[in-house]
């Protein structure tokens, strides 16, 4: 049976990999990592379904059929997997068509969701502590901006004052919700034009960093995302601000959107949620410090002398609250943050 898959790569693949017969969803081949993980040889695995070996959510069991029907790879993230006599494991499942059937691969993850919940509690605690501290100075700043408007004659100056005023209103709304941000789904879920959010965020950051060069590459065919505009705006602002600081205000930042197929997230007590909208923020800075890369989204983790380490923790919390994901890849000269979001289902938010 081993000739069904190319041994040079698949046998060396360090994670369990199965070849599935599409019609019966039974195993016809497994690599060495799969045999070690299950404790069974190919002979004993052959003819069994993966779900006889380990248990997953009913919706996750559809991944093979869905990949076959779509003729494309499909990934479901953070799936709890249970095996008899073993502790529950968390993994990403990926199904993909091949010449001989459907490949099914498992990537095991750390206990990040449990850590994220702890981190979320810390961020919420900080939110409760600082929300009321924001409102008084915001009122003063808005009043000052309104007084300045009488002395500003240029179109550009008035436009910037309008931007200040609208941002103050947004931050006040955000402060009102900081206490529960991410502990439940956002309150003001609607159809969100992510391109409008990105353009506005770019303008805010660039007004403070005029030397920055921005490149915008947006997919005009993308549908609206499902989410809360205010909290998504704050998350995107935080990422762009970090990028601006990474390039010392004089580098280049690319803002991009695209349709990304095959990514789903399995939410607690719910069916999986597809995340086809990808927002990319890319900078040409020195890259993320290896010392903090693994804890990048945890509260109070920062390498900035005056930083509090809450910006990316908030980004992770906003993504989680929307049922989405945030990813990062980094090397010197290129750091990319990707925010993956759902779209409204048919008839939803109508």
- Digit-coded pLDDT (tens) for 215-252: 999 999 999 999 999 889 989 999 999 999 999 867 89
The Cα 189–Cα 170 span in angstroms is 15
Instruction: Quick: pLDDT tens for 288-333.
Output: 887 777 778 776 556 555 545 567 878 888 888 888 999 999 999 9
Q: List the one residue out of 69, 67, 36, 30 whose CA is nearest residue 49.
A: 30
Mean pLDDT of 170-190: 63
Q: Which residues of the chain are in CATH 3.30.565.10 domains?
A: 113-341
The highest-level CATH class for domain 113-341 is alpha beta
In angstroms, rounded to a whole number, what is the distance separating the alpha carbons of residues 320 and 293?
19
Token couple for 107:
């990537």
Predicted confidence (pLDDT) at residue 348 exceeds the cutoff of 70: no
**What is the pTM (predicted TM-score) of this model?**
0.58
Give me Rg for the CA atoms of the chain.
Answer: 23
Higher pLDDT, 144 or 110: 144
pLDDT tops 50 at residue 29: yes
Residues 314 and 331 sit within 8 Å (Cβ to Cβ): no
3-class secondary-structure state, position 273: strand
Residues of the chain with CATH 3.30.450.20: 2-108
- Give the pairing type, strands 334-341 and 325-331: antiparallel
Neighbouring-strand partners of residue 336: 282, 329
Q: Does domain 2-108 have CATH number 3.30.450.20?
A: yes
Mean pLDDT, to the nearest integer, of 157-172? 81
């Amino acid at each position: 049976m081993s000739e069904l898959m190319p041994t040079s790569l698949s046998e060396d693949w360090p994670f369990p990999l199965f070849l599935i017969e599409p019609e019966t969803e039974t195993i016809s081949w497994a690599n060495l990592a799969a045999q070690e993980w299950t404790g069974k040889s190919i002979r004993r695995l052959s003819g069994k379904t993966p779900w006889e070996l380990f248990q997953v959510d009913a919706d996750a069991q559809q991944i093979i059929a869905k990949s076959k029907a779509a003729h494309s790879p499909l990934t479901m993230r953070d799936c709890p997997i249970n095996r008899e006599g073993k502790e529950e494991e968390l993994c990403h499942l990926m199904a993909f068509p091949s010449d001989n059937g459907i490949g099914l691969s498992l990537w095991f993850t750390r206990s990040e969701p449990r850590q994220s919940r702890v981190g979320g509690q810390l961020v919420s605690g900080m939110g409760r502590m600082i929300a009321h501290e924001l409102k008084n100075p915001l009122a003063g700043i808005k009043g000052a901006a309104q007084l300045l408007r009488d002395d500003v004659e240029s179109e550009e100056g008035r436009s910037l004052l309008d931007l200040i005023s609208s941002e103050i209103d947004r931050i006040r709304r955000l402060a009102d919700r900081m206490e529960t941000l991410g502990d439940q789904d956002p309150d003001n879920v609607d159809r969100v034009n992510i391109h409008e959010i990105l353009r506005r965020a770019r303008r805010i950051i660039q007004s403070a960093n005029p030397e920055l060069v921005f490149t915008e590459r947006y997919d005009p065919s993308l549908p609206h995302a499902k989410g809360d505009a205010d909290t998504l705006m704050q998350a995107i602002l935080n990422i762009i601000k970090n990028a601006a600081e990474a390039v010392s205000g004089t580098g280049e930042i690319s803002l991009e959107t695209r349709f990304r197929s095959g990514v789903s997230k399995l939410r607690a007590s719910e069916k999986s949620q597809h995340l086809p909208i990808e927002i990319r923020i890319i900078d040409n800075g020195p890259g993320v410090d290896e010392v903090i890369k693994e804890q990048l989204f945890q509260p109070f983790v920062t390498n900035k002398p005056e930083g509090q380490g809450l910006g990316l923790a908030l980004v992770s919390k906003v993504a989680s609250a929307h049922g989405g994901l945030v990813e990062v890849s980094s090397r010197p000269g290129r750091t990319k943050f990707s925010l993956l979001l759902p779209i409204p289902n048919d008839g939803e938010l109508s």
